[in-house]
Structure 1
Amino acid sequence: MSRDILLGLVKRLVKVRASKLKVLITSATLDGEKVSEFFSDCPVLNVPGKLYPVEIMYSEESPKSYIESSLRTAMDIHVREPEGDVLIFMTGQRKLVSKLEDRVQSLEEGSCMDAIILPLHGSLPPELQVRVFSPPPPNCRRFIVATNIAETSLTVDGVVYVIDSGYVKQRQYNPSTGMYSLDIVQISKVQANQRAGRAGRTRPGKCYRLYSSEAYEEDFLDVTVPEIQRSSLAGSVLYLKSLDLPDIDILKFDFLDPPSFESLEDALKQLHLIDAIDDTGLITRVGQTMAELPLEPSLSRTLMEANENGCLSQALTVAAMLSAETTLLAAQSGKSNEKKRKHPPPDLPDGSGWGDHVQLLQIFEEWDQNDFDIGWCKDNGLQVRGMMFVKDVRRQLSQLMQKIAKGIEVLTVCLDLAPQQAPSDITGVSTSNTVTEDV
């Protein structure tokens, strides 16, 4: 979304600058013709990359279960095709990884080459992500079960076969309800072609599409719906307002991919409700302060209110947990009931009946009480990388609030002191934490 705002501001700058301003935009996925038209038919320079031919194979019809269809296709490749790694695009990886492990182990020894099954997704710890860049042992094939992170973000050498489920998990905002949802949606033709291209990076490859050619031609969108058209615009609108640039009409701002009028109107209503803009649409002093925080406006406003009510320490924790979108990991899938019994369900706080926000607060405070031990996260099924990110975000937010406190009269609580004690029967947790540079 920041890309859309940046391009709109650059276009405005090109118009108002008296001197000649040269702008170079590089991208592997942007539509060159659309960008050229946006910038008054500017020239486009294509830099071709080397891509080996990829044979595309479609299913006769869409499968009832793309997990089972992916499993069958993967095993057919493993038994019948020459050496080469297999990249499988799924919306999630846990179920298929478990099923592949079971199916490979059930093969008769010596009937085909060995196999390694590796998951690849954004929340995977770095030390596990890098495994996909290590070549397999001799006479061994890798199965890499990946989300859309493998479409454009990275290239894995050795991939010869791609299995494309045709779906992706996509975060979408509904301005009518004011809520986000994580939906499984059909990919676009651009995404399908990006996925197929992963098989032709080092040598000729094959792409198995688990959908028919008719579905691809008739049902798939040509391009992916831009992020700005499926996100809340409150933060973007507040940022534009904070720039205090003359002659900017939010409803008529020149976006490369214009969002709907409904989405822009929803953003203005949200900002007005939390006093970020006034009745005339001008940014308020509160709004200017909110714009200094790298959070959704609602969370920024929450921190300001929490400060006034003596619970800033807790609010910093909840805001950090929410902004990092940390989720609890489901119990690790095992290969046997015996393995599962070795890992009992985590004994984590449940929110004491006060909802998810209090549960997130309780979890972080319990981790704090355990000296931010990484082993504690692992024992309780929490994403180590995500929790470390939360800790870092909270520290940065604490520092920002301290800077803001120096120039704003409404911030009356010293962040080096403990917040006021809240009733223990409300939160069920200790509220005497101090906010320090390390938390």
Structure 2
Amino acid sequence: MNRQYFGTDGIRGRTNAEPMTARMALKVGQAAGAHFQRGDHRHRVVIGKDTRLSGYMMESALVAGFTSVGMDVVLLGPMPTPAVAMLTTSMRADMGVMISASHNPFEDNGIKLFGPDGYKLSDKDEAAIEALIDKEPVLADSTHIGRAKRIDDAIGRYVHFAKSTFPDRLRLDGLKIVVDCANGAAYKAAPLALWELGADLITIGVEPDGTNINKDVGSTATDTMRETVVASGADIGLALDGDADRLIVCDEKGELIDGDQLMALIALSKKSREELTGGALVATVMSNLGLERHMAANGLELKRAKVGDRYVLEMMRESGCNVGGEQSGHIILTDHATTGDGLVAGLQVLAAMVDADKPASDILNQFETIPQLLKNVRYAGGDPLADARVQQAIKEAEAALASDGRMVIRKSGTEPLVRVMAEGEDAAKVEQWVDHVVAAVKEVA
């Protein structure tokens, strides 16, 4: 499907430049509001946001859009993306909205939409909303304009939910945990949930000022977390991203543990308790070949979806699997949530660690990774991958790696980047052919 506005994770871009303007947010509110007004009940949308300065502007524009077509709005304030999904269903709303650009810098923002079931929208729903965005909206009669209100206990509701996913028989007493909230949406909720479960906490990235979200903190900038874990003698470090739907971990030695290792731990823990469904783990084409081999050695299949947690979730629902995610740290546990949840995933990792009564380094490194290299190339416009020179370079690299590895080249769905990834038994060979493709992309980018 050719999308004009929606990418792999909603609508995203630099704030005050198309499509991420207040005008567009107004139109999205009107279009989505019209699309989801089904039935004769009073219609409701819940809206959350992360801590970006532009969140106020986008929130106000969305409120104006939804209320102008007759939909009531419930404002949650700064809340993790999975909390918005959960509260959409809990509050019997017709839809949910998260204002966030996830791990991107504060200059960017985005709009993520959830249906009444708490799941991200299907391609069909997004196409229907896109078709309405550029049409003249049908405004509500003045007596039927929607109302907007804020609720004060949203964080408490989410914290209660997150804690309910942690086994009742366990506590976090005696564990020293460093939690990095990226100065983002979970800066209150994540520390509160961990503290209530008994953890000895050291917090990072819990002082948002509107412009410091993801800046030198969070799941994409983990040096501070790793250094703090080692310096403080902590047992483990947890790093969330700006909207708290992804998780990256480090062990007590400061060594990073990516989403592949975490998914393996959670899947095999569930398998040991006979709680894993579908006989498989769902990941993406970017997950390490070592994960696939490890799953096979334990009698499980690794199913690979397109990149994007929405596609992982689609495959999970189709195949009946309850554990899936991405190497980047989006981990989806459908027993608990309808989307990736960094805090909930972190609690499952901590539960496995408490159960095993072993250091993090002993349980988090589940398998030996195959040498893998990812490089990103920024481009200004057009489609570099369509150029004949790039296509030829890709064919040469794929042929060279065919016997002992693989290559994945794709455009990012959230940024103007070409991502070039390869893996194989020979690290030098992998780097040689990644650089070969990167050079070709740079030449035309």
Same fold, TM-score > 0.5, yes or no: no
Normalising to structure 2: TM-score of the pair? 0.24
More strand by share: 2
More helix by share: 1
